[in-house]
């Protein structure tokens, strides 16, 4: 025993115990990080919608779950830019009408659009109508889309803003339902005549997809050449990240991280759990 203090053997045992607890904590942290990496790579990732290009189905401020398994896995499935997956594993082609997340061909930012054309399809647009393999995708008029005006959803140029008597404002957009030959349908917005209402015809090259935003007159998609922050051209299927699932939560942009009281007031609860 030392002249003063606890016995040396006790100090050794205490230090060993502390070291064991630290090692256990580090192992737990590494295990959780590894599990999160596996989930993000092979199961789900979260994406927040930044723009109006997929309105009315997806709104700016929506956070959605991207399902990773439907189309297979590639380097674009990883949450970081490392060439660890050669080619595409378990590759599966999307179907027309699927809402997909993919990496931009040039700057690798995440985009979300709807698949319209598959390899070998002939696609053209005339006066805002999509013509797929010679067949016009019919549209039927529905009621207007009414979107509350807020930081995440200003009234875009194609909308009509109306002030509410009780305060605040709504933006009204002309809305149609478009039908694919398979019977799949979805809502699209139409602002009127624009240059991008006419495009093609073009054949979708092998291994690629033709994608459009549901907000047809306010979307940079396959109608435009692939440039950073802009159009995407034909999207190579190995750029796919996943398929858009449900809306997990949505915010109108009025909240502030510095004001905890605003965290919940800005939630759009009616959009939580919305299926796509």
* pLDDT digit string, tens, across residues 173-216: 999 999 999 999 999 998 888 889 999 999 999 999 999 999 99
Mark whether 262 is an active-site residue.
no
Round to whole Å and give the CA distance between 49 and 47: 6
Question: How would you label 202-211 residue by residue, b for 16+ Cβ within 10 Å and e otherwise?
Answer: eebeeebbbb
Mark whether 113 is an active-site residue.
yes
Query: For the ranges 146-150, 153-157, 247-251, 263-267, which has the lowest average pLDDT?
Result: 263-267
Across the chain, mean pLDDT equals 86
Catalytic hit among 74, 77, 103, 113? 113
| Architecture (CATH level 2) of domain 34-271 | Ribbon (2.10)
Question: How would you label 88-116 residue by residue, b for 16+ Cβ within 10 Å and e otherwise?
Answer: beeeeebebbbbbbbbbbeeeebbbbbbb
**Burial class for 52, CB neighbours closer than 10 Å (0-12, 13-18, 19+):** buried
Tell me the C-alpha to C-alpha distance, in Å, between residue 259 and each of 63, 254, 263, 267: 20, 10, 7, 14
Q: How many residues does the chain have?
A: 276
* 225-261 pLDDT, tens digit each: 999 989 999 999 999 999 998 899 998 887 777 777 7
Catalytic hit among 53, 74, 219, 222? 53
The answer to whether residue 85 scores a pLDDT higher than 80 is no
Question: How would you label 221-240 residue by residue, b for 16+ Cβ within 10 Å and e otherwise?
Answer: bbbeebeeeebbbbbbbbbb
Neighbours of 258 (CB within 10 A): 6
| Dihedral sign from CA coordinates of 48, 246, 192, 210 | positive
Round to whole Å and give the CA distance between 209 and 260: 43
Residues 1-18 have a mean pLDDT of 57
User: At CB < 8 A and 24+ separation, what contacts does 31-39 make?
Assistant: 37/79
Nearest to 99 by CA among 65, 141, 75, 144: 65
β strands within 9-84, DSSP E = 44-48, 62-67
Question: What pLDDT does residue 67 have?
Answer: 87
* 86-106 pLDDT, tens digit each: 777 777 899 999 999 999 999
């Amino acid at each position: 025993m030392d002249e003063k203090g606890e016995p040396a053997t006790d100090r050794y045992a205490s230090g060993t115990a502390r070291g064991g607890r630290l090692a256990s904590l580090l192992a737990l942290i590494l295990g959780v990080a590894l599990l999160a990496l596996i989930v993000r790579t092979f199961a789900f990732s979260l994406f927040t919608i930044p723009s109006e290009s997929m309105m009315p189905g997806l709104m700016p401020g929506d956070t959605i779950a991207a399902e990773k398994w439907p189309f297979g896995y590639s380097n674009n499935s990883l949450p970081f830019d490392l060439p660890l997956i050669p080619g595409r594993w378990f590759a599966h082609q999307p179907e027309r009408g699927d809402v997909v997340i993919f990496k931009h061909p040039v700057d690798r930012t995440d985009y979300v659009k709807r698949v319209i054309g598959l390899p070998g399809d002939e696609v053209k647009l005339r006066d805002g109508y999509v013509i797929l393999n010679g067949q016009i995708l019919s549209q039927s008029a529905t009621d207007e889309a009414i979107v509350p005006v807020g930081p995440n959803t200003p009234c875009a140029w194609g909308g009509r803003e109306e002030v509410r008597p009780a305060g605040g404002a709504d933006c009204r957009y002309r809305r149609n339902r478009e039908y694919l030959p398979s019977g799949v349908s979805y809502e699209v917005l139409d602002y009127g005549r624009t240059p991008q209402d006419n495009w093609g015809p073009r054949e979708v090259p092998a291994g690629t997809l033709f994608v459009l935003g549901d907000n047809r007159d306010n979307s940079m998609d396959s109608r435009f050449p692939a440039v950073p922050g802009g159009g995407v051209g034909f999207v190579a299927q190995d750029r796919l990240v996943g398929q858009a699932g449900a809306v997990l939560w949505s915010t109108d942009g009025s909240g502030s991280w510095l004001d905890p009281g605003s965290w919940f007031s800005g939630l759009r609860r009616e959009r939580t759990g919305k299926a796509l």
